[in-house]
Amino acid sequence: MAASAQITLRKKPNRLGQYPLAIRITKNRRSTYKHIGPHINIEDWDDSNKKVRVSHPDSDRLNKLIQTKVDEANKALVNLQIKNKDATAIYIKKEIYKTSTTPGFFEFAKEHLEELEILEKHNRLSSENAYVGYIQKFHKSKQLSFEEIDERFIKKLKIFLVKKHSLSPTSVMNVLVFIRLLYNKAIKDGITRKKFYPFGSGKVKIKFPETEKIGLNAEEILRLEALSDLSHNEFHSRNIWLFCFYFAGIRVSDALRIRWSDIKDGRLYYTMGKNLKLLSLKIPDKVNCILEYYQRDKRHMDDFIFPELKKADIKNSKDIFNKIKTGNKKFNEHLKSLAKKAVIEKKLTMHIARHSFGNIAGDSIHPLMLQKLYRHTDLKTTINYQSNFIHKEADDALKAVINF
């Protein structure tokens, strides 16, 4: 019987209840599997057509990845059949996914970046491509085995990143997290062994420094709302910032993707780009005022509300990513002048809209409701984030001790 390769959804879920996509290689009614990375909910899988349903927000990208992986497997399978090397399913899997030489760190990183590009994860691709560049500059060679990345290597790399590139402690930790991610994948794929792993107890520990999250207070936002005599760019940038704030601090990348068709029965329905969480919120009156301003440029129901993506190539995710990135940069420039006019001494950026919502919410909203508004997967994430803006108990405690 001829061997075959096709995509399937494995039946063992991860801790989030999602199931892994895998290439199933079958020979003589015996099968073995090679996971391709992504996990999805079982209701998003169309087993009859062997593809991700359109109900999944990333269906197009995932189906493109599936097609690429299946084509690669079938091409390799044909080559093995020509050479009469398709003996058993397990042997075929080893032959298809083995490499002539064990890939080093940079070869493995290249495969990882290519996968991100296929999945159209351009934000991560941009960041992690930069991390690879930093590591190459430090190592001064394109040949680097995983075994060479030991505790001493990482210690010297950290010093290099600070002295030569002036990276912040948080950025340095992000580089280490990237190395750890690839190391774990390499161990799983049998490229290196666990005994060489440089992270964990008694070895390199990745600990992010506490970062200061400061948002505007209610008085400062009222001053921002009350500004008049603004230029067109200032007015537009303020609208975008307030729109994000009014909707619990949604990210600018999500706000710019919102279309008129996402508004139904006085509610906004949208999917967060970062974690693909769905959210439905009633449109506040203040947002209706903003929407009225952009109604004049509405071309059809599926048109974008804001102008940044109106001329984008919708089928080109990289073009969308670049236009959002450019728009965000321009907004932040105009927000500087808005901060001066509103007499706001804090650094005013698009991301501060999220912090400002958290700052005003403080501890007056239950963490479970905040988790729903922020669309965090884990309640711990919400509690840790919101702890940056809860000061009353500590202030009262301090006052109780020194007020004598």
274 pLDDT tier (thresholds 50, 70, 90): low
Sheet holding 278-282, edge to edge: 263-264, 267-271, 278-282
Segment 391-403 shows an average pLDDT of 62
* Beta-sheet pairing, 30-40 with 19-27: antiparallel
**What is the C-alpha separation between 319 and 305, in angstroms, rounded?**
18
Residue 355 has pLDDT above 80, yes or no: yes
Indicate the burial class of 255 (C-beta count within 10 angstroms; 0-12, 13-18, 19 or more).
buried
Which one has a higher pLDDT value, 158 or 73?
Answer: 158
> Nearest to residue 245, comparing CAs of 224, 271, 226, 267?
224
**What is the C-alpha separation between 92 and 88, in angstroms, rounded?**
6
Give the range among 73-77, 103-107, 159-163, 259-263 with minimum mean pLDDT. 73-77
pLDDT at position 28 is 83
**What is the C-alpha separation between 254 and 320, in angstroms, rounded?**
12
Residue 327 has pLDDT above 80, yes or no: yes
Query: Which CATH number is 105-196's, of 1.10.150, 3.30.750, 1.25.40, 1.10.10?
Result: 1.10.150
Q: Where are the domains of the chain?
A: 4-97, 105-196, 218-361
395 pLDDT tier (thresholds 50, 70, 90): low
pLDDT at position 94 is 75
Token output for 366: 């239950």
Segment 234-254 shows an average pLDDT of 93
Domain 218-361 in CATH 1.10.443.10? The answer is yes
This prediction has a pTM of 0.68
| C-beta separation of 96 from 73 below 8 A | yes
- Of all residues in the chain, what percent carry a pLDDT higher than 90? 52
**pLDDT tens sequence across 207-233:** 988 777 788 889 999 999 999 999 999
- Backbone phi and psi for residue 286, each to the nearest 5 degrees, phi listed first: -65, -30
